[in-house]
Structure 1
Amino acid sequence: MPRTNSLVLVPDTVGVRAACMYYSAAMRQLLATMGLVVMLGPGCITERTANTAFVVGGRVAPTDATETVGGTVGGLGGTVSAAETDELFTIWGHADLFLGGNTRGWAGEAELAVEGGAAFFDGEHHLLLRGGFDGGVERNPYTGLMLLELPVATVGYQFHGQGESNPESSLHFDIGARGGLASAGRAFAADAVADFAGAPQLGFISVLLWEIVAARIQYDHIFMSEPWEVIRSEICIEIGAAICVDTRHLVADFEGVQREPAFVGITFGFGFATGYEWRSW
């Protein structure tokens, strides 16, 4: 009879076990080569757990403050995302950290977002109701964005795969409307500054966490006399070696002039994304 040992149904044979143990050993050797100590037994990915994804490495970020002002910064960065749904309870979180600069000055970024709530209906398909906060600071010699969203709430659809026998078993996907009551922020575009406090917002968010891939796209419309539009996205491919591309685009009124400061960050390094855990034989 077939037995589930990984992402697909495979026969319980000596050859399958040997292949899986070889893969596990190769992963441990890769981690050891990179100077990391990992406590892994000779096993396979067999049991569904929380979706997690992380990348750490070098990052370069071309930025544009205006049509004539911009440049590229570089440094070290890392990003972590996680999501779990266990019966009725669901939680999602994302964190990002970057430190670097160029000959014109320092650059840095820090973001933390956490939302928790309820996932209604049994099985893999859920009605999502989640609440939490999102805060971040990003600054470089050309642009910057400081944004605090508290509280925020997301209402939408969630797929959280279950079991171990199909490729979609480790898939986590959210999409929904997202709003906040009292956001505050400040933005920089070259020498110009724009800020606000206590403004409501409305937009959407979509999160994808799966084997080897993690992605997020988020849009916020901030209601003021001159509204802000903030679009953020991230997509990562993580198979030991990893690459991430994250973007931020802002449309706002800067001292009577509408500007659209933006950046694109590209991270090369080490990382994994999975919805399964390592287990020993």
Structure 2
Amino acid sequence: MRLLLLAPFALLLASCDLDHLSDANREFEDFSYDLPLSATGRLTLDNYNGSVEITAWDQEKIEIRGSKYASTKEQLADIRVEARAVAPDQVTIRTVPPSERRGNTGARYTIRLPRRATLERIASSNGGVRLDGLEGSGRVQTSNGTIRVGQHQGTLDLSTSNGAIEIRTMTGPVTARTSNGRVSVDEMKGALDAATSNGSITATLLETPPDRPLRFSTTNGGVEINLRQAPRSEIRAQTSNGGVTVRLPADTNARISASTSNSSITNEFPLAGSDSSVTKRRVEG
């Protein structure tokens, strides 16, 4: 079963992480912390500029490595990195900027923590965030950077701007929000709520839950959804200035809601149900 919505192709704005653009003109200083953290502990990280990489391991501690950077040695000395174990199950990390101006300053982090730990909040800007191998819930926010997730189990809330969101091999519900960037999801089991502007959405879902709708919304970009198993919940897709393609197994019995503006809709299969309808810019059924 295939649903195709046709619309003009929109220009996608390319995005890049700004963290590494000016290394030649920066001063650097490395830092290192090792703190206890229980197997199901919690991490909070507030970083104002710079990339963050978080990977899993099977030890009850957190390993924090990184480097702070600035345009001058004076600014570098004024940046503080604070890492504290505030409880056996909670670690907080904070990058404190220079007192006068932030300018070309920040910090990069490479972190290893217990596999089932919770990411209460990971916040940065002007740098990407990467998660790999974790099995806990998490909330991640950045700007001017890409969020990449691999081999994850657990609920995720992801948000960026001027950057993409890329997810591969995921089990659990995901909310993904960006602007001026694409959302790309592959080999996912779970409910997906994805929204962007000036970017495309592509998703391959292996399994979906019965109790949560699948939502896809974009402007100035296309949407392509591939479902390997018949969905058990409603599918909602909305776009403007972009095309939408939904590929479903032949035995699918699910409600589909698709709408577009500045385009037309081509429906390649019959819709069942007394409340089904097809118009130039909308499909319900």
TM-score (norm: length of structure 1): 0.25
- The structure in which a higher percent of residues are strand is 1
- The structure in which a higher percent of residues are helix is 1
TM-score (norm: length of structure 2): 0.25
